[in-house]
Amino acid sequence: MRAKGLRLRVRRRADRATALAVLLPILLAVGLAAFPSPQKSKNSPALLREIEKAVREIGGYPGEDFVRREFFLGEGDDDTYKTHYVGILIKDDAEGPRMTIQVTRLEPSRDDPRIKYARDPKTIVCRFPAAGAEVVRSDYSQAELKTLLPEVLRAVVDKKNLLKK
Protein backbone atom coordinates (compact mmCIF):
# COMPACT_ATOMS: atom_id res chain seq x y z
CA MET A 1 0.00 0.00 0.00
CA ARG A 2 2.82 2.35 0.88
CA ALA A 3 4.59 1.71 -2.45
CA LYS A 4 1.46 2.69 -4.38
CA GLY A 5 1.24 6.04 -2.52
CA LEU A 6 4.91 6.65 -3.19
CA ARG A 7 4.44 6.01 -6.93
CA LEU A 8 1.52 8.46 -7.01
CA ARG A 9 3.60 11.17 -5.36
CA VAL A 10 6.48 10.62 -7.78
CA ARG A 11 4.09 10.66 -10.74
CA ARG A 12 2.47 13.90 -9.49
CA ARG A 13 5.89 15.52 -9.11
CA ALA A 14 6.84 14.42 -12.61
CA ASP A 15 3.54 15.79 -13.98
CA ARG A 16 4.12 19.11 -12.21
CA ALA A 17 7.67 19.31 -13.53
CA THR A 18 6.48 18.59 -17.07
CA ALA A 19 3.69 21.18 -16.79
CA LEU A 20 6.14 23.73 -15.41
CA ALA A 21 8.63 23.01 -18.21
CA VAL A 22 5.90 23.56 -20.81
CA LEU A 23 4.22 26.58 -19.22
CA LEU A 24 7.26 28.48 -18.00
CA PRO A 25 8.49 29.64 -21.47
CA ILE A 26 4.94 30.63 -22.42
CA LEU A 27 4.39 32.57 -19.19
CA LEU A 28 7.75 34.31 -19.53
CA ALA A 29 7.05 35.33 -23.12
CA VAL A 30 3.61 36.69 -22.25
CA GLY A 31 4.90 38.40 -19.13
CA LEU A 32 7.79 40.07 -20.92
CA ALA A 33 5.55 41.19 -23.78
CA ALA A 34 3.30 42.96 -21.27
CA PHE A 35 6.13 45.28 -20.23
CA PRO A 36 7.08 48.01 -22.67
CA SER A 37 10.53 47.64 -24.08
CA PRO A 38 12.92 50.26 -22.75
CA GLN A 39 13.25 52.92 -25.40
CA LYS A 40 15.18 56.09 -25.51
CA SER A 41 12.56 58.77 -24.94
CA LYS A 42 12.44 61.07 -27.95
CA ASN A 43 11.10 64.57 -28.09
CA SER A 44 8.09 65.53 -30.21
CA PRO A 45 10.02 67.14 -33.10
CA ALA A 46 12.17 64.03 -33.54
CA LEU A 47 9.10 61.76 -33.49
CA LEU A 48 7.29 63.99 -35.99
CA ARG A 49 10.35 63.85 -38.28
CA GLU A 50 10.38 60.03 -38.06
CA ILE A 51 6.64 59.82 -38.76
CA GLU A 52 7.03 62.08 -41.80
CA LYS A 53 9.95 60.03 -43.10
CA ALA A 54 8.13 56.70 -42.63
CA VAL A 55 4.93 57.95 -44.31
CA ARG A 56 6.93 59.29 -47.27
CA GLU A 57 8.64 55.89 -47.59
CA ILE A 58 5.21 54.24 -47.89
CA GLY A 59 4.42 56.74 -50.63
CA GLY A 60 1.32 58.46 -51.89
CA TYR A 61 -1.44 57.28 -54.14
CA PRO A 62 -0.94 57.61 -57.92
CA GLY A 63 -1.98 60.94 -59.41
CA GLU A 64 -1.78 62.93 -56.16
CA ASP A 65 0.82 65.65 -55.58
CA PHE A 66 0.77 64.99 -51.83
CA VAL A 67 1.17 61.97 -49.56
CA ARG A 68 -1.95 60.75 -47.77
CA ARG A 69 -2.18 57.59 -45.66
CA GLU A 70 -4.51 56.10 -43.05
CA PHE A 71 -3.60 54.09 -39.97
CA PHE A 72 -5.28 52.66 -36.88
CA LEU A 73 -4.16 52.70 -33.24
CA GLY A 74 -4.96 49.93 -30.79
CA GLU A 75 -4.03 46.45 -29.73
CA GLY A 76 -3.81 43.49 -32.10
CA ASP A 77 -3.38 43.04 -35.82
CA ASP A 78 -7.05 43.26 -36.81
CA ASP A 79 -8.11 46.83 -37.66
CA THR A 80 -11.71 45.89 -36.85
CA TYR A 81 -11.04 46.25 -33.14
CA LYS A 82 -8.79 49.32 -33.17
CA THR A 83 -9.74 52.29 -31.01
CA HIS A 84 -8.43 55.26 -33.01
CA TYR A 85 -8.20 56.24 -36.69
CA VAL A 86 -5.19 58.30 -37.82
CA GLY A 87 -5.09 60.19 -41.09
CA ILE A 88 -1.79 61.75 -42.17
CA LEU A 89 -1.43 64.27 -45.00
CA ILE A 90 1.96 65.61 -46.13
CA LYS A 91 2.14 68.44 -48.66
CA ASP A 92 5.19 70.32 -49.89
CA ASP A 93 4.83 74.11 -50.10
CA ALA A 94 7.11 77.17 -50.30
CA GLU A 95 7.96 77.05 -46.58
CA GLY A 96 8.86 73.37 -46.71
CA PRO A 97 6.89 70.21 -46.05
CA ARG A 98 3.74 70.53 -43.96
CA MET A 99 2.17 67.54 -42.20
CA THR A 100 -1.33 67.29 -40.79
CA ILE A 101 -2.20 64.42 -38.47
CA GLN A 102 -5.82 63.86 -37.55
CA VAL A 103 -6.60 61.38 -34.77
CA THR A 104 -10.22 60.31 -34.29
CA ARG A 105 -11.52 58.12 -31.50
CA LEU A 106 -13.66 55.23 -32.76
CA GLU A 107 -16.66 54.40 -30.59
CA PRO A 108 -18.31 50.99 -31.14
CA SER A 109 -22.00 50.84 -31.98
CA ARG A 110 -24.33 49.40 -29.33
CA ASP A 111 -25.96 47.11 -31.88
CA ASP A 112 -22.82 45.79 -33.58
CA PRO A 113 -19.39 46.41 -31.97
CA ARG A 114 -17.72 45.96 -35.37
CA ILE A 115 -19.38 49.18 -36.53
CA LYS A 116 -17.50 52.23 -35.24
CA TYR A 117 -18.57 55.87 -35.03
CA ALA A 118 -16.02 58.68 -35.30
CA ARG A 119 -15.86 60.80 -32.14
CA ASP A 120 -13.61 63.62 -30.91
CA PRO A 121 -11.36 64.34 -33.90
CA LYS A 122 -8.17 66.15 -32.92
CA THR A 123 -5.56 67.65 -35.21
CA ILE A 124 -1.82 68.24 -35.15
CA VAL A 125 -0.33 70.51 -37.82
CA CYS A 126 3.41 70.80 -38.14
CA ARG A 127 5.96 72.00 -40.65
CA PHE A 128 9.50 70.94 -41.32
CA PRO A 129 11.98 73.75 -41.87
CA ALA A 130 15.52 72.85 -42.96
CA ALA A 131 16.34 71.48 -39.49
CA GLY A 132 13.95 69.98 -36.97
CA ALA A 133 10.18 70.16 -36.84
CA GLU A 134 7.82 72.83 -35.59
CA VAL A 135 4.30 72.23 -34.28
CA VAL A 136 2.13 74.95 -35.83
CA ARG A 137 -1.12 73.95 -34.12
CA SER A 138 -2.15 71.06 -31.91
CA ASP A 139 -5.33 70.03 -30.11
CA TYR A 140 -3.11 67.96 -27.79
CA SER A 141 -0.98 69.16 -24.89
CA GLN A 142 2.77 68.49 -24.85
CA ALA A 143 2.27 65.66 -22.32
CA GLU A 144 -0.38 64.03 -24.54
CA LEU A 145 1.90 64.32 -27.59
CA LYS A 146 4.67 62.46 -25.75
CA THR A 147 2.39 59.43 -25.37
CA LEU A 148 0.48 59.73 -28.67
CA LEU A 149 3.33 60.23 -31.15
CA PRO A 150 5.18 56.98 -30.32
CA GLU A 151 1.92 55.08 -30.88
CA VAL A 152 1.38 56.82 -34.22
CA LEU A 153 4.97 56.05 -35.26
CA ARG A 154 4.50 52.39 -34.29
CA ALA A 155 1.30 52.19 -36.39
CA VAL A 156 3.05 53.78 -39.39
CA VAL A 157 6.05 51.46 -39.15
CA ASP A 158 3.80 48.40 -38.72
CA LYS A 159 1.83 49.32 -41.85
CA LYS A 160 5.02 50.06 -43.77
CA ASN A 161 6.35 46.61 -42.86
CA LEU A 162 3.03 45.02 -43.81
CA LEU A 163 3.02 46.71 -47.22
CA LYS A 164 6.62 45.57 -47.88
CA LYS A 165 5.57 41.90 -47.74
pLDDT digits over 11-55, tens only?
A: 666 666 665 566 556 655 555 444 444 445 578 899 999 999 999
Please state the φ and ψ torsions of residue 70, each to the nearest 5 degrees: -120, 145
102 closest CA partner among 62, 72, 60, 63:
72
102-127 average pLDDT score? 92
Which pLDDT score, from 0 to 100, does residue 150 have? Answer: 96
Q: Are strands 67-73 and 134-138 parallel, antiparallel or unpaired?
A: unpaired
User: Does residue 120 contact residue 104 with C-beta atoms inside 8 Å?
Assistant: yes
Distance CA 108, CA 116 (A): 4
The secondary structure of 6-36, three-state, reads: HHHHHHHHHHHHHHHHHHHHHHHHHHHHHCC
Residue 25 has a pLDDT of: 62
